Every structure is written in structure tokens, then in C-alpha cells.
Amino acid sequence: MINDRPVGSSEEAGRALQAAAVAEQSVLAANGAPPAERLAALAAHASRCTACGLAATRNTVVFGEGNPEAPLMLIGEGPGQNEDATGRPFVGRSGALLDECLRENGILRKHVFVCNVIRCRACMLDAGRLRNRPPTPEEAAACSTWLEQTIHIVQPYVILCLGAPSANAIIRRGFRLMQERGQWFETRFTRYASATLHPAYILRLEGDAYQSARETLVSDIGAARRKVIEAKREPRMTLF
């Protein structure tokens, strides 16, 4: 069901809310607030965001979860139906696959921070049902404050983008996932960013193609883990 929420002028209110959230973060950082407290404050603001039209169709804002000081951050494109219902990123079959691949590298959710480029489900009404769709550039731009502030608080050593849309937001526009996955790029967000296959994409494959893609995700997560170890020996990068 589409929620009966105003959109037009509420988008302006949403941008004002974002500005207030950024200002609050400056104060919290200046006062030495720990990352967990800063993330909680940011999530509280994000839960009321109306900066784009997705506020009219969402059930919940899926802010992200995990270690507030995680050395490794995993970023997907956006929440789907299951995430919208639970308020948690990467649940359902894609979340189960991600957790499996993390565990095969000795990593649990509590060791990393997991979030998405956008915090609300992008969907469309089709034959009386809401179906997932890719977010528009305008929706991604409207949500960029929440993404950037989250990264700024967590300050991960390494970001692993799950899928091309995430890589386009974090690494660069026009990122070619199949040609460039597994490579390392310095970005304004972190010194080391790479991209791998999205679990939802892998689940659409069958047979040998599925197994090969799954092994790629496991391998790329392992490479990210090793890069974290390497990066910890270097001076921290000042973000933004």
C-alpha cells in the first residue's frame, strides 16, 4: 500500500532536516561523541527524511547496521521489500547469501557496517503491487547526505561496493563492474574502495554460473579483509 504522505513541499523540509543533521554532527564530533552515539543521532534524523518522493511509498527507512567503527563497510544499492518491512539492510535470501560469504572469510555482521546508497525502497506500482525498481539519479542525490555522513562517522579503512550502482556512487560514474571488479581505487570516501557482485544478482544465476559468481563474492570479500589488514599499517586518511 502506498502511504498517504505529502511529497512536494515536504522535499524542501527533508533537505532542511538533512542540513540540521549535518550541523548536529559537527557539534557531536567537536564534543568528542563516540561513533555509536553519532550514528544513532543521524539515524534518528534519517528516519524522518522526506527529501525525495520515496518517503511516500516506504514503510521504514533502512539506515544501516553493524560496527560503528568498522574497518570494512559494505554498500549496496538500496533496500528491497524485505528490508523495507524489517528496517534492516540485506535480509531475506540476498542477506543470507551475504552472511554466508562473510562467514567463509571469518567475518560476521557485527564486524562490518552494512548500508545502501539510498535508505528507502525504490518501487513502482505494477498490476496493483509494489515492485522494486532502480532508484533515479535524483533519488540517489537526495539521499547522498545520509550516505556521506555515515561514511564520515564510521571512517572505514576499506569500502566494498556490492553491485555497479554502488560503485557508481562511491568510486566513479560509469564504473564497469565486470571489467573493473576486484581492482582498488582511491576515492574521496576512503583510500581503498573496490566493487564486487551483488548477492541479488548471484541469486538470479543457476548451475555453474551461480557457483562461479558466489566464489567471486567470497574471494572479493577475502581480498577486502586482507586490504583492511594492510591499510591498518598506514596513516589514516582524512575524509572529505
For residue 26, being part of any structural domain is answered with: no
Q: How many domains does the chain have?
A: 1
- Percent residues over pLDDT 70 in the chain: 95
Average pLDDT over residues 80-99: 96
- 126, part of any domain: yes
Contacts of residue 225, defined as CB under 8 A and 6 or more positions apart, other chains included, come to 72, 105, 106, 107
Residue 42 within any structural domain of the chain: no
Average model confidence (pLDDT) across the chain: 93
* pLDDT tens per residue across span 130-162: 899 999 999 999 999 999 999 999 999 999 999
Q: What is the pLDDT of residue 149?
A: 98
CB 174 within 8 A of CB 195: no
Give the domain extent around 168. Answer: 64-231
237 — pLDDT class (breaks 50, 70, 90): low
**Banded model confidence at residue 63, pLDDT cuts 50, 70, 90:** very high
Q: What is the pTM (predicted TM-score) of this model?
A: 0.92
pLDDT at 91 over 60: yes
In a domain, 169, yes or no: yes
Task: Give domain status of residue 53, yes or no.
Answer: no
**Do 70 and 95 meet the contact criterion of CB atoms below 8 Å apart?**
no
Does residue 8 carry a pLDDT above 60? Answer: no
Q: Taking residues 161-188, report their average pLDDT.
A: 96
Establish if 7 belongs to a structural domain. no
Residue 225 backbone dihedrals phi, psi, to 5 degrees: -60, -45
Report d(CA 59, CA 128) in Å as an integer: 17
* CATH for 203: 3.40.470.10
| pLDDT tier, 238 (very low <50, low <70, confident <90, very high otherwise) | low
106: alpha, beta or left, given left = phi > 0 and alpha = psi -120 to 50? Answer: left
**Does residue 163 form part of some domain?**
yes
- Does residue 4 sit in helix, strand or coil? coil
